[in-house]
Amino acid sequence: MEEKLVFSRPEALTDMPTHYCPGCHHGIIHRLVAEVIDELGVRENTVGVASVGCSILAYDYFNVDMVGALHGRAPAVATGVKRGRPDSVVFTYQGDGDLAAIGTAEIIHAAARGENFTVVFVNNAIYGMTGGQMAPTTLDGQRTQTSPAGRDPHLAGHPLRMSELIATLSGPSFVTRTAVNTPARINQTRKAIKKAFELQLAGRGLGFVEVLSTCPTNWGLGAVESGQWVDSHMIPYYPLGVFKED
């Protein structure tokens, strides 16, 4: 009987095992970006910009040219890469501690300028790499190393909704929030990333894809429970959907 391979590792991922913790959604999101790069046939022409956070080693995992940016500066580096090489396909891959804290200025101004690259924003509501400190995206009441009694909005304000904020700017062509905690949402996220890349290829300006992710290690939950926590805690505050589409 003849059989065909219907699912395997995308070419745009290297063969290197990742250092991510068991069940961490970073791995799923990497694969989706790689699948889109393969589907669009742009692997030889893509430059990724890795940020600081658990995904700092993304340059080892994506089988494309990669640049490592200083903490929060990926949108500024991507601006330079894209302006210098307008024919390349450029994406940043940034965590919430990177994009929504130290890098808030860079993303807002890159978005306001309508820079023509794709942003993959991985929101796991915590600083993963450094051991689980509170991020601007940490939920009210969420316990972290630096909010052991739960985030207190009187001290820390309420969490930033970056997609809603970015969507108020005129520069971005596409702003959406997705998740990868169910098979259907994994599919939707791949489509959203693909759309953002396609808009870039059409020269339409910044595409911003926020993906709700997990940090089982610093949330203190199992892999399956972390996926459920996205439903019970994250989505009620961070609704999924499209916030801007030109």
Partner 1 sequence: MARTVFHEEFCKGCGLCIEACPKKILAFAEHRLNHKGYQAVDCLRPEECTGCAICARTCPDVVIDVYREAGQAEGS
Ligand X SMILES: Cc1ncc(C[n+]2csc(CCOP(=O)(O)OP(=O)(O)O)c2C)c(N)n1
Which positions lie near partner 1, rule CB under 8 A? Answer: 1-10, 13, 17-18, 20-28, 31, 183, 186-187, 216, 222-224, 227
Buried b (16+ CB within 10 A) or exposed e, 192-228: bbbbbbbbbeeebbbbbbbbbbbbbbbbebeeeebbe
Among ligand SF4, partner 1, ligand X, none, what does residue 207 contact (CB within 5–8 Å per kind)? none
Instruction: Kindly state whether residue 57 participates in binding ligand X, applying the rule CB under 6 A.
Output: no
What are the φ/ψ torsions at residue 226 (nearest 5 degrees)?
-65, -40
Buried b (16+ CB within 10 A) or exposed e, 15-38: eeebebbebbbbbbbbbbbbbbbe
Which one of 10, 48, 95, 227 is in contact with ligand X (CB under 6 A)? Answer: 95
Query: How far apart, in Å, are the Cα atoms of 88 and each of 18, 37, 154?
Result: 26, 12, 45
* Nearest of 44, 36, 43 to residue 120 by alpha carbon: 36
Instruction: Kindly state whether residue 208 participates in binding ligand SF4, applying the rule CB under 6 A.
Output: no
Least distance to partner 1, CB of residue 19, Å: 10
- CB nearer to ligand SF4: pick between 155 and 184: 184
Among partner 1, ligand SF4, ligand X, none, what does residue 5 contact (CB within 5–8 Å per kind)? partner 1
- CB nearer to partner 1: pick between 7 and 87: 7
- CB nearer to partner 1: pick between 61 and 117: 61
- The residues binding ligand SF4 (CB under 6 A) are 20-21, 24, 26, 54, 124, 128-129, 215-218
